[in-house]
DNA sequence: AAATATACATAAGAATCTTAGGTATAACAA
DNA sequence: TTGTTATACCTAAGATTCTTATGTATATTT
């Protein structure tokens, strides 16, 4: 991506949001989805994503289930009930965050 | 602030943007301005701000000038000519960043 | 046969912040 | 006058979150 450091701290809410919308995704799919939603500009690295997924699972926000497709392993993740609460909260924070950016940078749509 | 890690990576563009708009500011003033622009929600810590100002100056993005007001030192910063170019670029990145957030989080205004 | 894509994973190090401390002056309250 | 709050600068240690580099393995395309 253009300036990776902008996205520092935002990966976690992104993953949670995508799982809220898609119900069930595997890691590689998440990287593709973010690329697609941002016209190829935002590339989540695997070195960031997989450890994050593991810690979200350890926190009880996500739960996983393995499947084999074409002899290749996929690890599907979805929100737990607790994850759904976290998701609502996280979404509120992001909404506020974007509002703040619009105020600070004078980006408010006319 | 609510979730400090969201703002990780965004402090630098914020400082540059404020100096683009206000022409000349000192550190303490920047923390107050950000608080005011975000209804008290975003608090820039001095431990983050001052080292950042120093490194922006070392990079040639900012230049400083000391003044004494009421026996207290103030260090005013402003953008250098090079800083103004950096500012334009940085602003473009932020605009794109916010657009991406709106796409990922489905925040596009109706 | 080699390269690319899919799909997972970890570890070292970089970047960016928080927390905690320090110095000093001015204004206000107890 | 003594303590507290506000102003105004600063640094260092540590936490968090990422990038970069590397590894394993299978499937598909060139």
B98 occurs within a structural domain: yes
Per-residue pLDDT, A27: 97
What average pLDDT does the segment A96-107 reach?
Answer: 93
Average pLDDT, chain A: 93
Average pLDDT, chain B: 93
A110 occurs within a structural domain: no
For the stretch A32-69, pLDDT in tens is: 999 999 888 889 999 999 999 999 999 999 999 999 99
Distance B103 CA to C10 C1' (A): 31
Residues 12-31 of B with CB under 8 A from A: 12-14, 17-18, 21
What domain range includes position B66?
A: 4-104
Per-residue pLDDT, B109: 63
- Going by pLDDT thresholds of 50, 70 and 90, the confidence category of residue B41 is confident
- Percent residues over pLDDT 70 in chain B: 98
Whether A1 has a pLDDT exceeding 90, the answer reads no
Per-residue pLDDT, A41: 86
Domain count, chain A: 1
Per-residue pLDDT, A73: 92
Q: Is the CB of A72 under 7 A from strand D?
A: yes
B56 occurs within a structural domain: yes
B104 → closest Cβ in A17, A93, A106: A17
Per-residue pLDDT, A110: 53
| Three-class HEC string of B9-62 | CCHHHHHHHHHHHHCCEEHHHHHHHHHHHCCCCCCCCHHHHHHHHHHHHHCCCE
For the stretch B67-92, pLDDT in tens is: 999 889 999 999 999 999 999 999 99
- Going by pLDDT thresholds of 50, 70 and 90, the confidence category of residue B93 is very high
Interface contact B55, partner A, CB < 8 A: no
Per-residue pLDDT, B2: 73
Q: Please report residues of B whose CB lies closer than 8 A to that of A89.
A: none
Interface contact A9, partner B, CB < 8 A: yes
Per-residue pLDDT, B1: 72
| Three-class HEC string of chain A | CCCHHHHCCCHHHHHHHHHHHHCCEEHHHHHHHHHHHCCCCCCCCHHHHHHHHHHHHHCCCEEEEEEEECCEEEEEEEECHHHHHHHHHHHHHHHHHHHHHHHHHCCCCC
Please indicate whether, in this complex, the C-beta atoms of B107 and A95 are within 8 angstroms of each other. yes
Q: How many residues does chain A have?
A: 110
Per-residue pLDDT, A19: 97
Interface contact B78, partner A, CB < 8 A: no
Q: What is the CATH number of the domain that holds B41?
A: 1.10.10.10
Per-residue pLDDT, B68: 93
């Amino acid at each position: 991506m253009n300036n990776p450091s902008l996205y520092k701290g935002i990966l976690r809410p992104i993953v949670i949001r995508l799982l809220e919308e898609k119900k069930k995704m595997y890691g590689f799919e998440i990287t593709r989805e973010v690329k697609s939603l941002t016209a190829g500009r935002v590339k989540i690295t695997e070195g960031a994503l997989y450890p994050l997924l593991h810690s979200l699972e350890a926190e009880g926000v996500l739960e996983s289930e393995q499947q084999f497709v074409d002899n290749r392993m996929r690890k599907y993740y979805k929100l737990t009930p607790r994850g759904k609460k976290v998701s609502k909260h996280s979404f509120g924070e992001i909404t506020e965050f974007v509002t703040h950016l619009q105020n600070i940078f004078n980006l408010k749509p006319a």
